Amino acid sequence: MQGPDHLRRVQLIFQNPYDSLNPRHTVAETLEQPLRLYFGLSGQALRDRSAEILERVRLGAHFLDRLPSQLSGGEKQRIAIGCAFAANPDLVLCDEVTSALDVSVQAAVLDLLNALKHKQGTTYVFVSQDLAVVKALSDRVAVLYQGRLCEIGPSDRVYARPSHPYTEVLLGAILEPDPDTAPRLSADDVVERAPPERGCPFQRRCPRKIGDICDTLMPPWRAASTDHAIRCHHEIDALKPVQRPGGSG
């Protein structure tokens, strides 16, 4: 059985702050649970540590006696972040932590997560479908299609020059804040209920499909560089930008 210290090292921040906090527990009661469990704190030391955590997530000690119903969505998510960091974790799994928040609040939460990451040296596994959020927070990116890895590498390199066909399709479809720039859809927009039984998971939509090999064999990993790899039957050098309608590449 895994001990308390092992559990302490890995924490989770849930997607929806409206559901992740117990509506009958005050902020103090929520923050005190990991502090009691992992560090055995009690009394005034427990109260002081809880107030310190609130300061760390840019709230204040006056929030300690509030209930979740008295908090905004952004404040609730800050409490959830504080609860995770109360355990002083090595790894935090962030499950779509900004998707339930307004855009302006998302920016503040991302800034807080970045600050905590650098201050405490914590590693995040950040799960998101919002590519702008991923780019803002990540050092490395792993791209999945139908639950299977397609590409993995440094975020700046993946975003600047996507090497896997699905990554290129994904980034090409991003809406830009420019009325003269249209998203580029280079693969059929279809809903797939399950991955194919054999072959490449992206075979049904891939604009670069070679033939039967894509249908029958799982693609090998190919190195784009020492720390950047894709899983595709194409050689890396053959993966040049797809010609798209209305554009040059």
The answer on 94 and 160 residing in a single domain is no
Q: Is residue 115 part of a domain?
A: yes
Q: Is residue 215 part of a domain?
A: yes
The answer on 94 and 186 residing in a single domain is no
Q: How far is CA 235 from CA 17, 157, 222, 223, 240, in A?
A: 44, 18, 7, 9, 10
Per-residue pLDDT, 99: 85
Rounded to 5 degrees, φ, ψ at 235 are -70, 150
Q: Is residue 106 part of a domain?
A: yes
What average pLDDT does the chain have?
A: 87
Per-residue pLDDT, 67: 97
Give the domain CATH number at 89.
Answer: 3.40.50.300
Closest by alpha carbon to 163, among 215, 232, 244, 247? 232
Per-residue pLDDT, 221: 94
Which range of residues forms the domain containing residue 181?
A: 140-238
Per-residue pLDDT, 2: 56
Per-residue pLDDT, 244: 36
What are the tens digits of pLDDT across the range 218-244?
999 999 888 999 999 988 765 554 443
The answer on 155 and 129 residing in a single domain is no
What are the tens digits of pLDDT across the range 56-107?
999 999 999 999 999 999 999 999 999 999 999 999 999 999 888 888 888 8
Q: Is residue 249 part of a domain?
A: no
Number of domains making up the chain: 2
Q: What's the angle, vertex CA 229, arms to CA 226 and CA 234, rounded to 5?
A: 125
Question: Positive or negative CA dihedral for 128, 3, 90, 84?
Answer: positive
Q: Is residue 153 part of a domain?
A: yes
The answer on 100 and 37 residing in a single domain is yes
Closest by alpha carbon to 207, among 190, 187, 233, 189? 187
The answer on 229 and 147 residing in a single domain is yes
Per-residue pLDDT, 192: 76
| Residue 24 in tokens | 């009958």
Per-residue pLDDT, 242: 41
The answer on 198 and 225 residing in a single domain is yes
The answer on 88 and 161 residing in a single domain is no
| pLDDT over 70 (residue 3) | no
| pLDDT over 60 (residue 249) | no
User: Alpha helix (H) ranges present in 138-210?
Assistant: 155-160, 165-172
Q: Is residue 92 part of a domain?
A: yes
The answer on 146 and 110 residing in a single domain is no
Percent residues over pLDDT 70 in the chain: 86
Name the domain boundary from 136, 154, 177. 136
Per-residue pLDDT, 1: 47
177 contacts: CB under 8 Å, gap ≥ 6: none
Distance CA 17, CA 27 (A): 13
Give mean pLDDT, residues 108-115. 92
The answer on 148 and 94 residing in a single domain is no
User: How many residues in the chain?
Assistant: 249
What are the tens digits of pLDDT across the range 19-62?
989 999 999 999 999 999 999 999 999 999 999 999 999 999 99
Per-residue pLDDT, 172: 80
Q: How far is CA 153 from CA 138, 164, 182, in A?
A: 11, 11, 27
Name the domain boundary from 136, 159, 193. 136
Please classify residue 231 by burial: count the beta carbons closer than 10 Å to its beta carbon, then call 0-12 exposed, 13-18 middle and 19+ buried.
Answer: buried
The answer on 9 and 54 residing in a single domain is yes
Q: Is residue 246 part of a domain?
A: no
Distance CA 186, CA 191 (A): 15
Name the domain boundary from 114, 136, 158. 136
Q: Is residue 243 part of a domain?
A: no
